[in-house]
Amino acid sequence: YKFRRLDQRTKVNHLLHAVFQNDLVQCNSSLNVLYRRIAMHPTLINMNVYLSCLSILLLKLKNDSDFQILQLKPIITDFIHFHKAYHKKYSENFSSVVESLIILLIHWFKSIQLDSLLRSSASEYVFSILQLLDVDYIRLAKSLTPLDLDHYISILRPHIDSATLLQISKESAKVLSPDEEMLSINHYKELGRLSYSGLCKFISNTRFDKFDNGSKKPLYEIYKSLPKSKQLEFMNDYMNFNRKRELTIENHCLHLTSSNSPTHNTYSMQLSKMVGDWISHNVSVLSGLKSKLDTIDGQDKSSLADLSLEETHLLKYTAHLNFIPGPELVNLVINDLLTEALTSKDGHIGAAKFCKSLRSKFIQLVLRDKKNKHIYGQILKFMTEDDAIEFFSTLIKIMAPNCTINSNLVKDSQVYEARKLIDKVESDNDELFFEKSNDSYPAFLLIVSKQFSKHGKFERFYAIIKIHPYLLLEYQKYFELSEGMKTFLPMLCEPKPWVSPSDGGFLLDLKKIVASTSKFNLMVYINAAHESNQLESTYKALDVLGSTKWIIDTKMLKIFNQILDMDVPLFDIPPHLDKLRIELPDEPKREHFENDDQFTRYTRRYHRDVALRLKEYHGRRGDRIVLESIRTYCNAIDENGDMFFIPHNVDTRGRAYPMTSIVHHQNSDPVRALMRFWDMKPLGKNGFNWIKYHLAGVYGEDKLSFEDRIKFVDENIFNIRESAENPFYGAKWWQNADKPFQTLSYCFEINSILEYIESSSENRVENYLSRAPIHQDGSCNGLQHYAALGANKAGGKAVNLIPSEKKSDVYMSVLNLVKERVHSDFETKKNKDLAKVAYPLLDRKIVKRTVMTSVYGVTNFGAKLQVEERLTDYTKHLKTIRKQEGIALESGVLEDSEIRKLINQLSSYIANHILEAISTLFSEAKSIEHWMTKNCYRIITSYDLRTVKSFDSFDFFKGSYKNMMWTSISGFPVVQQYKSYYDRLLKTPLFMYRLRRPEVRERVDIVKHIHSVAPNFIHSLDATHMMMTALAAHQNNILFASVHDSFWTHPNEVEILSKIIREEFVRMYTSDIIRHMELDLKYTARDSFQLVWFNRTKHIQFAEQIDSLRQKFLRLTKVKPQSYNKCLAAELENPEKVLSLYNTYKPDVYLIKHNNLAAIYENKSTEKDAFFKISKKDYVPILIPVKILDPPSTGDLEIKEVLNSKYFFS
């Protein structure tokens, strides 16, 4: 809840403080104040605040065995009066509070069970309250535990009939599974807190050893060696054991801490003592502060006069200071500040974002106390993001100045190295790091920095926290100090089946089914879809994806460890943190320049160059830390050969994503190479060829046909075997691959197969047991869906929807069209010169990015930037070659400024031709895209009565409020949530924040909606195809994993899955998807009206009739658009008269677009809108029902041809 007045926040704060101090007298007084406020101002927010505060008190008391019922009676009396007055109008708000109160009274009743006389009067009292609150006896019984149910029946027995009592007795109570830890993790903690390394040690040290027989072999090897009858027993026992481990992991993974204990052998005692001093000093400061604030009466203004700015702000949050012990709160702030600053890829922390992250961790710590588990939802209401920013900003302002570095620790050479990490572009304040105060340097700077766009343009100032560069250099020697605070690890047991939007995946429901930063409105639609059983196929598909069993490949892990341990790792992997260096250019000196202007210009360029190198340095630090986290986890899993699972959820389009943080198959090349299936299957007839085919693809020969890929591998068999047997010696063939880690993993696999065949004449290749996944990838899958939607034959051929002996390359198809168009410009006057410069530069790479992103809504400007980046790289490469070969630049060669200007012109020219070529190749599909964007605009700019009535005064001319939404053919609701934001100031002692917030009434961002609808629609289709394939594979007992449009399975099941992929694609597009979308849009727009305009002078009689209807609302002299608001609102409520006139006169009406240009409303989707400017003085607005445009015609592609297309997915 957001409080506008300080006294409101203070009252609630005092109440919360009293609750956690068990001060029922103060609780009674504070609740009575809130209750009386409702009598004066019976608003919904005041009622909810009262109910939430009461709920927190009741839940807290339920966990306390000792409380006085007499002290609670006034509170109960107030609530009964409140319930009687308002529960019928706001019934849903009361149920949880009523339940909590009755359960609390049952607990009180239990506590007096030895005194029969008192029990009798207590029973009378509790039953009277049940009656006064109109409690449904049977319904309440369903929510009670078995023990509570027994006492509940004892209360009711003297007062209700035996039939009802018998029915209650038969109710099965909800049995809560014990949440105690089954495996001890305490000895992996340091000072009571668990680090990421500690959690991984818990995984590696808790081995399932029932079937070991002392061998200590990898578990997957032990499982393989068992007879079938024993494998089932192994799996059942192993999964039960792992379920206990998983519960322990999930209970700790969200509030990990970096290790700053001196028990670490590698840890510097000096740094440890320094951080320890920071914490102990701040604990003392915070303790004194809490003592002072506890004595302050918020109502007594004279007592506020002596408070500092920080103390005044904290006065609103004294209850929050008591939610967790002071040392834990200080540890949370200091450790997170240190860890986040050390691991940041930017070299600093965004202050607002950091405070919001502390909020979630703070709540996790509160909930760690099991007694407080049930008050989570209520506490959250009293700690909004703004509250978190204010609360933690105040704590940081208090604590950060107490974190200092003794100057005796810092050598002059270290100061010199540390100064290199200063960024003078972002901020001019970094020099403050080297200003001593009491022989100490500040460990952190709290400053306002400049933020730039990726193109170097200044965007805004924003608040950041920077760590002293000396600490950055010192701490990078110790990876343990850079570990993440919150991580979602793969699961050790099969994910919980999805049964609702918030119940599935992780055992403790750590994430909901939809991964979105804007969940509130979206979850309304998701929950509605759940209630109508629309999500069943989504649930089942996610369960299939989560059921795949994985292991870590020991051989590849050894290689991964070796490369990370190299002084200069391969493949541009960042070196170990203590070896990571930054090379900076020499700072320009005035004496080297002819004048001040030249010196100033080069100095700016120097600072920009330094800023870019610093950004790259911090990025590489972050990359190395992630790789170390992956290494730590994978080594822990591989220690015992454990099995793991990847739970999945979806994004707002329905696309499936892993719920894990770093280790999953959608990660980069090294991580994919580390992952293998747990289940082994024989290669079968063609499995070996599929492994060869896959190896050629990851090496970089993915354009070759199937036969040519096999030939490529056979021709390189010596290199492949040498790579497997001596990865770091000899020709090192695998290191030249596009995906070197996956290439080496398949070199190992092929070498193992050949060794198996060579080891015995009885060993046949088809019997070799393999765990290797084989990928089948869509051929530019987004464009495949576009071509199928439009039944687009030319486009379908380019993306392999049509059978062909040779694999089509859509990028070459587009490139050839672009070349034709550019060549034809040789003869034009306007573009002749540009065309001749552009033509030699045209290649596959220059068109590839734009073709790839065209399906995702790339704009003309975005395409221009993509081409510009490629041309810039080309010119840089050319300059480097010239310099290396000692070729001097001839006279007449363009200066840098002229080159930039030419690149800018060429980029626009080439980008336009690429986009036009795509439109030519996929003409029908582009018509469908335009149809969707036009209808999207109509829907999001429409109005309905419910929206208008939610405003006190609605303005039809100041924005739109409807989201674009549709239901995918899988039943998943796709809701675009692009809102308009405004900047709001939040004043804290640390900074004055300028925060972007969605508008109160959430106007939509029209441009984002329009640009996103087509790509989001395509994403929803590829998500549906993937899920259909997953379910069909599961029905056929085919192992399945997916990375969007890349489908994985065993080598011997590739052909079966290949058939399923094609069949499901054909099945999907045999249904009329566009017709389905059209009906969906019509349903969405069914009660909505469009604001359109007609020409007053052209339709005089119609205008006069409309004016007559509106005369009581309008004075027709000097009518402004906003003058129409009242009459339009009235006409929306009763539209019959206006619509009758509209149908009689049938005027031409125009829709004004977001750029204030008008187009005829009745235009067909296939016709290009003719925009023109209108004068609103001559035009009159009216509301008419939204008209969804008819879809365009499609081409003549026969979708069943996909069934025989060899390279559709390959």
| Residues labelled catalytic | 777, 848, 1045
Beta carbons within 10 angstroms of residue 887's beta carbon? 9
Is 467 strand, coil or helix? strand
Inter-CA distances, 482 with 257, 273, 486, 489, Å: 10, 17, 12, 17
* Cα(99)–Cα(558) distance, integer angstroms: 57
Sheet of 458-467: strands edge to edge?
349-350, 458-467, 444-452
Please state the separation of Cα 1178 from the chain's center in Å.
Answer: 48
* Cα(1021)–Cα(782) distance, integer angstroms: 9
- DSSP letters, 437-502, are BTTEEESEEEEEEEEE-TTS-EEEEEEEEEE-HHHHHHHTT-GGGG--S---PPBSSPPEEEEETT
Q: Which residue has the tokens 């920095």?
A: 449
* Cα(913)–Cα(1120) distance, integer angstroms: 44
Q: Amino acid letter at 294? A: D
Q: Amino acid letter at 174? A: K
User: What is the b/e burial string over 1072-1097, where b = at least 16 CB atoms within 10 angstroms of the residue's CB?
Assistant: ebbeebbebbeebbeebbbbbbbbbe
* Cα(356)–Cα(388) distance, integer angstroms: 6
Contacts of 919 (CB under 8 A, 6+ apart): 926
Contacts of 971 (CB under 8 A, 6+ apart): 529, 534, 535, 536, 537, 538
Contacts of 878 (CB under 8 A, 6+ apart): none
First to last CA, the chain: 54
* Cα(595)–Cα(600) distance, integer angstroms: 9
- DSSP letters, 778-792, are BSSHHHHHHHHHTT-
Beta strands in 242-372 (DSSP E): 349-350
* Cα(322)–Cα(355) distance, integer angstroms: 18
What is the Rg, in whole angstroms, of the alpha carbon atoms belonging to the chain?
Answer: 34
Type and span of the H or E element at 1042: strand 1041-1043
Reduced 3-state DSSP string for 246-265: HHHHHHHCCCCCCCCCCCCC
Q: Which residue has the tokens 């395409």?
A: 863
Structure tokens at 904: 């800018």
* Cα(953)–Cα(1126) distance, integer angstroms: 8
> In the chain, what are the helix, strand and coil shares in percent, each to the nearest 5?
55, 10, 35
* CB 689 within 8 Å of CB 778: no
* CA torsion, ordered 612, 618, 620, 623, to nearest 10 deg: -140
Measured in degrees and rounded to the nearest 5, phi and psi for residue 890 equal: -65, 155
* CB 674 within 8 Å of CB 662: no
* CA torsion, ordered 18, 22, 23, 25, to nearest 10 deg: 110
User: Going by DSSP bridges, is the β-strand pair 404-406/440-442 parallel, antiparallel, or unpaired?
Assistant: antiparallel
* Cα(718)–Cα(754) distance, integer angstroms: 12
Helix 1125-1133 to helix 1100-1110 angle (10° resolution) is 90
